[in-house]
Structure 1
Amino acid sequence: MPHPLLRANPLHGNPLQTRQDVANALIDLFEPLLPYFSEGGARVTLSAAGAIFDHPAADLEGFARPLWGIVPFAAGGGEFAYWDLYRCGLVNGMDPDHPEYWGDVSDRNQRLVELAAIGFGLALVPHHLWAPLDKRGKDIVSSYLLKARERDYVDNNWKFFRVLVDLGLEKIGIDFDKTKTEAYLEELEAFDIGDGWYRDGPVRRVDHYIPFAMHYYGLIYAVLASGDDQRKARIIARAERFTQDIRHWFGPDGSALAFGRSQTYRFAQGGFWAALAFANIEALPWGQIKGYYLRHLRWWSKLPIADRDGILSVGYGYPNLLMSESYNSACSPYWALKFFLPLALPASHPFWAATEEEAPACDDVVALEKPGMVAMHQPDNIVVLATGQEHDKMRGSNEKYSKFAYSTRYGFNIEANDRHFDAASFDNMLGLSDDGVHFRMRETLEDALIADHVLYSRWKAWSDVEVETWLIPRNPWHLRVHRLTTPCNLFTAEGGFPIQRADFNRDTMTETENSAIWYGQTDTSLIIDCGSSVKRAGKAQLAIANTNLIWARTLVPQLRASVPAGTSTLASAILAMPNHAWKAEYLTNLPAMPTIEQLEQLVRDKGRKIAAFDL
């Protein structure tokens, strides 16, 4: 039964099959914002809730982020009725003497992020944003942008924001020193780690910022910049190679892999497919690219992602502040409008003219070596095993980067209370507690390797508690082996995949001395012990509400045990499956578990360092 608030989603009911459908979706997403524009047009205020930056910067987000969709829509011939509002707001927001002034721009400031959309607009549709301004307005806008571009930007994808502002300034004929831009372009290229993958700065992680930021902005540069042909050729070649890997982050139903930070940007996840089209890169047949693109937006059209007035909420599959970051304001979700970049292309472009195709079948286990992942295609799902990455300065970073497995179908849970071990989900995670109250999980890594399709990591829950983890794909199963060395007794809990919990307690479960199974109304999820050195009992856990990204209520099968001081081994087999694909023989036909000695030998012989981690 559809969620009763689904009709508030501006995408709901749109078939999302044609260019006109996509254009309609953009306008339907934008128009609910109109009542929240300030009188002078410069600010969009959606909530009293705050972010790490000040409220004027959040209001600038609400003004600028829709431009990621509006600008290509207009460039492609779309009639946008509110250019007067945007021109008025542009001047007032940059005018220090106006009460709606956005504020001065300092180093590493949020305003630098939002000005990129304005630079993009000036580069692509100056006849709408720039040409109609009077001399005073042009002086105000150019002065603000010139001052902003002199600031220092965060050492990651932010460096593209100066590049985009400069593309706009160049288009409107404003002179500036290009030295800093050249330096940033060189530094951005230095984040390349091969096979089309980048790091998002000098960090041990790769996430959706690689497709929807590093590649997205790079391909805009490749289209709009003059000259610099060799760099643009490198950017395009990386995108072509990257396509072969990133397609394994998109499920057959259009869902994307829920992994990493900034999940509230939602269908920005599909921005990479948009950028391929914009840059005219047929990295896959156009029908396949179009399929990945449209299926993704259709998937979001079926979720209650908007508030009652049609405003996109902070959250993922539903409104959810728990999963958000400190830099998420109420306006932040509108970065999703980066998805609409192909509207700059005419209907005759082969992307729009192509017949949409399904994703090609993939029966093999696929190693994604650079991010340290292994992908397994399953019915209505893609499971990605992960060596683990690092982001230790953000709420929920363990869950967003360090779980053993991620899924396009099941999302993941964020722990709601790190002082309640017994209530924790530990979905696709091993939880450890020394007091039965507080707990630790995999966070930062000591080592990360891939050997064929086996992933290995070594990590410390405390300074004197070391865990080695091997992840072994046996599609549709995966196996986990942990070798845990501790100077004291520990409580442990390890979970499988979270599945949707039904109303009226209609789900059923089985708990045994070595397994736990949840039989949900749509899916079945289980975890089975496979010869651990300690006895582990199954527990059918009811997760705390609003912890999963996709569903407000979930079920998680777990194995629980007390581990003595010394070295112990934990081994398990994990599976989740939509009920239409479930087979009873799964319970009697478990995959063979390799020995630790075999796993150690494999890693010694074939182990290669994970590029994303090897910093």
Structure 2
Amino acid sequence: MTYDPASANPLVGNPLETRTDMSRALLALFDPLLACFSNGNARVRLNGAAAHFDRAAADLEGFARPLWGLAPLGAGNGDFAHWHRFAEGLANGTDPAHPEYWGTVNGRDQRMVELAALGFALALVPEKIWEPLDARARGNVVAYLKHVRQFDYADNNWKFFRIFVDIALDRLGADFDRSLTRQYLEELEGFYIGDGWYRDGNVRRIDHYIPFAMHFYGLIYSKLVDDDYAKRYRERAVLFARDFRHWFAADGATIPFGRSLTYRFACAGFWSALAFADVEALPWGEVKHLCLQHLRWWKDKPIADRDGVLSIGFGYPNLLMSESYNSAGSPYWAFKAFLPLAIAEDHPFWTAKEKVPQQAPDIVSQHHPGMVIMRAGGDVVALSSGQENLQMRCGTEKYAKFAYSARYGFSVEADERAFALAAFDSALAFSDDGLHYRVRETNEEAKIAGEVLFAKWSSFADVDVETWLVPAAPWHIRLHRIRTSRPLWIAEGGFAIGRRDFELDALSASGGIAYAVGEADFTGILDLGSSVKRSGIVQKAMPNTNVIVAKTLVPQLRGQIPAGETILVTAVLALDDPAALSCAWTTPPKAPEIAALEALVREKGVTVSAIEAPGQMP
């Protein structure tokens, strides 16, 4: 029998319904790492791939990140037979005389990130990794933590990392400058923008770092420290929960959006942190369901290598969509989802019966991230305008597409010189030579007016585009007004669906229409009356470009536009039902009037909060 990638997924066969199930899942995910511990237990090296930081820091990452789940397991009196490894590793990693020393920090450093997990573990389970140490080892640990905290941390969620180190130092009785703790708590307040939403720094992006970092750390802080900040963090989490629940589909999938998606089920970390902090932001049965249903979504995905070690990637192993800071140990931030293991069996999170959240409205506007969330069959789609990321690899695809889907994900491009072969799902691309291309990267202006999004952007310096995104669930409409000084080739894509082997999918393309019918899905794109003619094609996208499935089909409309003004009007549909071809596809929405959209944005438009941060230099 050939290798079945799902069979190596440590979550396969686990119902993930109870506290015992969650404990079993954690240990099944951790056990494959045991063979990768160094002789002195301070380093965990999983493969030969590299991140931008040094190997010692990557090995520390492999050692520390599992503690986000193991420390809660220990705090909840769960059985774990390898605490001695972490105690020994902590001692050796902080000992400058030991061959496995983690290295001295002399500036902003990846070690700052990983020491947050150690600070968390030292505060939560000191009896496991601190009390077994002798006086010399304890002195080394404290000295290492105190040395690191004197340096400036990145101006984003990293500021919580020093705070977690400080909480540990305080619990261990160390003497240190507490004014630095207060400084970072105050600076983190500058990222809060209201209604439970943060930015992850003063940048034009609002992504999963808000739930699995800003709120996650804030809720842990609120459990470990009793002060005014703790109260604020709890109140904000309640507000945020009301919006974030809309990012999840009924099957547990969440909308893949932004960077660091290799952290996978860390996306459930927010719901887990609510349980840890005793914050009933939604009824406990709903919080429990959102958390566990998301974990269950991952059970049949090929997310691990043959030995059970989590791979870099999202729905499958994929270095193409990774970040420069993803080492082989990076995926283990997913262990943030296991925070409820710290709470007792009689906690209402565990005793409550799972409850599916009340049916959400078909369309929900969220002006802080610049999204209009809509339900489409079993899918959740976020129409999006107002975000950008010019720093990350494939940042354009991760932030600046027109739509993001929980079921269909998004694609990153494999070759910037392949205009004819690119996926362009949920994007509009321009080319002046038929080879190279440009898509939306940034927005000059972004507004939301009720359920309509508007953005003004440029593909080339002499090409201005205005885009309106209009939900018409299960469809959505894109209207583009383009002004260019020269003729250009254009391509616009719908959603990507999985492509079967042996050409079993049904493809159709003609003037102004393209669709594909797969095993379980339908995807189509339709011209609603543009000022130029476009031809439909179904693109067999390059493999390993989509974040959820490795082979995809993308319906596209392609053509040419002349110098001057062009109007494009596009309708897009994707549903988890092949029968959509004879149902929803036969009743497309009507094209909106551009004058009516302009009036709506002029009279009711509100600037998207994400874009109000200072722009980034490319």
| Equivalent of residue 404 in structure 2, options 403, 406, 417 | 406
Aligned to 2:63: 63
CA shift, 1:129, in A, is 1.3
Give, in angstroms, the shift of residue 388 of structure 1.
3.8
Partners of 1:365 and 1:377 within 8 A in 2: yes
Amino acid of the residue matched to residue 171 of structure 2? K
What corresponds to 2:566 in structure 1?
Answer: 568
> 1:318 Cα deviation (Å)?
0.5
- Counterparts of 1:170-569 in structure 2 under 5 Å? 170-225=170-225, 227-228=226-227, 230-569=228-567
Report how far residue 363 of structure 1 moved: 3.5
Letter matched to residue 142 of structure 1: V
Contact 2:219 2:233 in 1 (8 A): yes
> What amino acid is aligned across from residue 390 of structure 2 in structure 1?
D
Unaligned ranges ≥5, structure 2: 614-618
**Contact 2:522 2:578 survives alignment (8 Å):** no
Query: Is the Cα contact below 8 Å between 2:386 and 2:608 reproduced in 1?
Result: no
Which runs of 4 or more aligned residues in structure 1 lie more than 3 Å from their structure 2 counterparts after TM superposition?
A: none
Q: Which moved more, 1:99-108 or 1:262-271?
A: 99-108
Q: Is the 8 A contact 2:518 2:578 kept in 1?
A: no
Aligned residues with identical type, % of pairs: 56
What is the alpha-carbon distance in structure 2 between the residues aligned to residue 363 and residue 372 of structure 1?
Answer: 18
**RMSD (Å) for aligned C-alpha atoms:** 1.2
Alpha-carbon deviation of 1:586?
2.5
* 1:359 Cα offset (Å): 2.6
Task: State whether residues 386 and 610 of structure 2, in contact with CA within 8 Å, keep that contact through their aligned partners in structure 1.
Answer: no
Q: CA offsets, 1:453-482, max 9 Å, x none?
A: 000001111111111110000110100001
Change (3 A) 1:35 1:24: same
CA distance in 2, matches of 1:532, 1:521: 31
The answer on 1:132 being equivalent to 2:137 is no
Aligned-pair CA distance for 1:2: 12
Q: Distance in 2 between matches of 1:378 and 1:518?
A: 17
Give, as a single letter, the amino acid of the residue that structure 1 aligns with 2:147: K
Inter-CA distance 576–602: structure 2 relative to 1 (3 Å threshold): same
Secondary structure of residue in 2 paired with 1:71 = helix
Confirm or deny: 8 A CA contact 1:323 1:414 kept in the other structure.
Answer: yes
How far is the alpha carbon of 1:131 from its aligned partner?
1.2
Aligned to 2:594: 596
Secondary structure of 1:432 counterpart: strand
Match of 1:613 among 611, 614, 617: 611
Tell me what 2:120 maps to. 120
Instruction: State the alpha-carbon separation in 1 of the partners of residues 107 and 195 from structure 2.
Output: 32
Q: Structure 1, unaligned stretches of length 5 or more?
A: none
Q: Which moved more, 1:164-173 or 1:578-587?
A: 578-587
What amino acid does structure 2 have at the position aligned with 1:117?
Answer: A
Q: Distance in 2 between matches of 1:3 and 1:277?
A: 38
Could you tell me which residue of structure 2 aligns to residue 12 of structure 1?
12
Separation in structure 1 between the aligned mates of residue 432 and residue 574 of structure 2, nearest angstrom: 30
Residues 240-268 of structure 1: per-residue CA shift (max 9 Å, x gap): 00001101111110111100000000000
Kept after mapping to 2: 8 A contact 1:3/1:304 = no
**SS of equivalent residue, structure 2 residue 166:** helix
* Equivalent AA in structure 2 for residue 386 of structure 1: S
Q: How does 1:79-118 map to 2 (within 5 A)?
A: 79-118=79-118
Distance 1:581 1:66, change over 3 A: farther
Q: Evaluate the alpha carbon distance shift between residue 2 and residue 533 of structure 1 in structure 2; reply closer, same or farther with a 3 A threshold.
A: farther
Letter of the 1:439 counterpart: Y
Q: Cα–Cα, structure 1 residues 502 and 236, in superposed 2: closer, same or farther, change >3 Å?
A: same
Compute the TM-score of the two structures, normalised by the length of structure 2: 0.98
Q: CA deviation at 1:107?
A: 2.2
Paired AA for residue 371 in structure 1: P
CA contact (8 A) 1:265 1:335 kept: yes
1: distance between equivalents of 2:543 and 2:578?
A: 26
Partner AA of 1:565 in structure 2: A
Partner of 2:616: none
Matched letter for residue 161 of structure 1: F
CA separation in 1, counterparts of 2:403 and 2:356?
25
Provide TM-score, normalisation by structure 1. Answer: 0.98
The code of the aligned residue for 2:453 comes to L
The answer to whether the 8 A contact 2:481-2:567 is kept is yes
Partner of 1:38: 38
1:43-54 matched pairs, under 5 angstroms:
43-54=43-54
The superposition leaves residues 53-100 of structure 1 with CA deviations (integer Å, 9 ceiling, x where unpaired) of 001000000000000000000000112111111111101111111111
The amino acid that maps onto 1:193 is I
Q: Give me the whole-angstrom Cα distance separating, in 1, the residues matched to 2:358 and 2:376.
A: 13
Kept in 1, the 8 Å contact 2:74–2:125? The answer is yes
Distance 2:337 2:579 in 1: 32
CA deviation after TM superposition for structure 1 residue 3, in Å: 8.2
Q: Distance in 2 between matches of 1:78 and 1:601?
A: 60
Task: Give the direction of change, closer, same or farther, for the CA distance of 1:2–1:253 in structure 2 (3 Å limit).
Answer: farther
Displacement of 1:106 in angstroms is 2.7
Contact 1:388 1:404 in 2 (8 A): no
**Which residue identity lines up with residue 275 of structure 2 in the other structure?**
A
- Determine the C-alpha separation between the residues in 2 that align with 1:191 and 1:470: 28
d(CA) in 2 for partners of 1:211, 1:406: 18
Q: CA deviation at 1:583?
A: 5.8
Helix, strand or coil for the counterpart of 1:559?
A: strand
Change in Cα spacing, 1:530 to 1:2, as seen in structure 2 (3 Å) is: farther
| Partner Cα distance (2:2, 2:578) in 1 | 19
